[in-house]
Amino acid sequence: MFIGLDDTDSRDRYCTTYIGMLLMDELGEKYKMDTPKLIRMNPMVKYKTRGNGGVSLRIIEDEKKLTEKDINYIKETVINLVEEYSDFECENTNPGIVFLSEENYTKNRKILDDYYKKVLYDIITVDYAKEIIGKIGGEYKAYKKGHGIIGALGSIASVGPYTYELLTYRKRENWGKKRAIDSKSVVEMDEKTIPFTFNNVDGEKQIIAPRTKCPVLYGIRGIKKDVLIDAMNMVKCGEEIDRYMIYKTNQGTDVHLRYMKIKDIYPNTGVIVYGIVVNNPKDIAGGIVVFEIDDGTGKINCVAYEPTKDFRNLIRKLKKGDIVGVYGTVREEPLGINIEKLKILKLSKQYMKDKKCSCGGTLKSKGVKSGYVCNKCGKKIKYDEIKLIEVKRDIKEGFYEVPPSARRHLSKPLILF
């Protein structure tokens, strides 16, 4: 049996993964539980609290099939905990629960695969999720506007690739208090466990702790469960960990991106586009750097925002004619790709005019008609006959990413390629 949950928390209270952990404890006493899943969906969803994540659990029925009584007990337990730990007062919190039997899950795999892709790539409605739940014989409980059923079903529907996240939870008396995580210990943990853990630090600063008042103390992302536990033991912090839980997740996998031609691109989706840079990058207000690419089917702007910090210096060095691959999500107004990663495939040759005359003087431009005249010996050169010298580019071809603190949960870090 599958159980999906989403949209229970607010920026002030709770966390859907906390309910997942409580359910793992409670249901785990009676049933065999699979690793719970924390699945991120389309990051362009406007009403998300943080990273648009939905949680799902699976009760494994290989030895003992669930009876009607079991199913009723499970549903009641889930509903009670969701009702106890949801921030119903927050306008943006619209909890949703989805239940799906093992049989209907297996029978409807194709519908679930398509739904998972849709929830990653598109913005969908509650009615659409209800329609799919009806089609596959699932059940839902939707509170308030019921948005949560979209992500609850998305989490159940998800398939690999997966990574893991170990989440530690705070003792209740510490909820809402400032977190004291020793950044130095996180830097050391990162050095010892890389590449089996990722996105732990940005320079010397730890980035494993959330900034909201939720029950999570910190989360360590990685690709091996045992390394995550070692990593947790290396992190020093000023309070005792209440509990921890390892979630299977699609974080760090790029599953929200797919190859697209510019003519087919639409807003609020994730893309990988290859094209030629058509103009030198420009700095615009707000610390934003923009350039345009063309792939033969159309042109689109590519944008690096202020939080991407030094990544923008790389972008500024691109030149017209460079061939690049842009990985990112498409913003609506004005249409453009928010860059998550950039692959520089081929740097164009750049030239400058050699204005040095053989006599040692300088060739001065007198306009297109008159060409150049040396200020020392008076030698004349036609405008289009001046020698060009190649300028050495100060960037290299290669794959680049935004800094860890500006990275999306779903973005695959270069270390995992």
- Between 154 and 336, CB nearer to ligand ATP: 154
Nearer to ligand ATP, 151 or 328 (CB): 151
CB of 26 to ligand ATP, least distance (A): 20
Quick one: DSSP state of residue 395? S
The least CB distance from residue 39 to ligand ATP, in Å, is: 9
CA distances from 73 to 26, 77, 156, 305, 415 (A): 11, 6, 20, 49, 44
Q: How far is the CB of 78 from ligand ATP (least distance, A)?
A: 15
- What contacts 341, CB < 8 A, 6 or more positions away? 326, 327, 328, 399, 400, 401, 402, 411, 414
Beta-strand runs (E) in 135-209:
139-142, 163-170, 197-198, 201-202, 205-206
Tell the smallest beta-carbon distance from residue 137 to ligand ATP (Å). Answer: 20
Give the shortest CB-27-to-ligand ATP separation in angstroms: 20
CA distance 206 to 181: 8
Sequence-distant (6+) residues with CB within 8 A of 373 are 363, 364, 366, 379, 380
Rounded to the nearest whole angstrom, what is the least distance from the CB of residue 150 to ligand ATP in the complex?
4
* 76 vs 91, beta carbon nearer ligand ATP: 91
Closest CB 35 distance from ligand ATP, rounded Å: 18
Q: What is the DSSP letter of 88?
A: T
Of 193 and 411, CB closest to ligand ATP = 411
Q: Supply the minimum distance, in Å, between the C-beta of residue 155 and ligand ATP.
A: 9
Nearest to ligand ATP of 13, 341 (CB atom): 13
Q: CB of 345: closest distance to ligand ATP in angstroms? A: 31
CA distance 347 to 396: 8
Which two structure tokens, joined as six digits, stand for 335? Answer: 């249409």
Task: For ligand ATP, give the closer residue by CB, 31 or 121.
Answer: 121
Beta-carbon contacts of 219 under 8 Å, excluding residues fewer than 6 positions away, are: 165, 166, 167, 168, 208, 210
- CA distance between the termini of the chain: 34
**Cβ closer to ligand ATP: 47 or 417?**
47
Q: How far is the CB of 261 from ligand ATP (least distance, A)?
A: 22
Which residues contribute to the site for ligand ATP (CB under 6 A)? 6-9, 15-16, 41-42, 45, 47-53, 94, 119, 122-124, 147-148, 150-151, 154
Q: Any idea what DSSP says for residue 225?
A: H
* Closer to ligand ATP by Cβ: residue 102 or 122: 122
Between 289 and 406, CB nearer to ligand ATP = 406
φ, ψ of residue 241 to 5 degrees: the values are -80, 135
CA distances from 87 to 40, 60, 82, 144 (A): 20, 30, 10, 11
Residue 168 CA to residue 234 CA, distance in Å, equals 13
Instruction: Burial-class residue 389 by CB neighbours within 10 Å (0-12, 13-18, 19+).
Output: exposed
Tell me if 133 sits within 8 A of 55, measured CB to CB: no
Q: How far is CA 188 from CA 233, 234, 302, in A?
A: 12, 8, 35
Question: Counting Cβ atoms within 10 Å, is residue 379 exposed (0-12), middle (13-18) or buried (19+)?
Answer: middle
- Decide whether 39 or 324 has the Cβ nearer to ligand ATP: 39
Closest CB to ligand ATP among residues 62, 89: 89
Q: How far is the CB of 300 from ligand ATP (least distance, A)?
A: 22
